[in-house]
Amino acid sequence: MSQEGALVGVVDTLPEVEETACQIVDSGGRAWAAVFGHLGPQSGCSRGEEIQKELGDVDILVNNAGIVNNIAWLRKMKFESWQRELSVNLSAAFIMIQLVIGAMIEKKWGRIINVSAGAATGGLQKQVAYASSKAGLLGLTKTVTLEHARMDHCNAVLPD
């Protein structure tokens, strides 16, 4: 995207995201990085607002978060592990969409791409949190499309 002239904001829970921004800048693009330590509405919105302050309104949002930290049978998965995976894989997308959708509506233009997974439609053994979070992302995508179809486009891709 940066090679096509886009100003890129990259966000992750890991500090290595700053290396990604540096690589974009080193290749002649413009980028800004933010590390989301705790994913909650307050931290997500404040970090997202920092990106908007630095780069301007977001015209294209790619929600590409995906962690698979909980390989366990459903009966053995800890609730905290379940919540962490849903927070990163689903709630972060909700927070980011909520943050950018207003400007997209005002401009009557915007693109939202949510990266789900094949597990969203078929499930995965020992990955109930991952499969559930990616299925939830499909529901979020469909709802955003229904609510805002005239003003933006929201799609999901499901790589294997």
Q: Dig out the tokens for 121 from the structure.
A: 């439609």
C-alpha distances (whole Å) from 121 to each of 11, 27, 72, 113 are 27, 38, 19, 18
Catalytic residue among 8, 48, 90, 130: 130
130 catalytic residue (yes or no): yes
C-alpha distances (whole Å) from 18 to each of 34, 46, 66, 82 are 7, 18, 18, 27
Q: Give start and end residues of each alpha helix (H) in the chain.
A: 17-26, 41-55, 79-86, 92-107, 119-122, 128-148
Neighbours of 142 (CB within 10 A): 13
User: Which positions are catalytic?
Assistant: 130
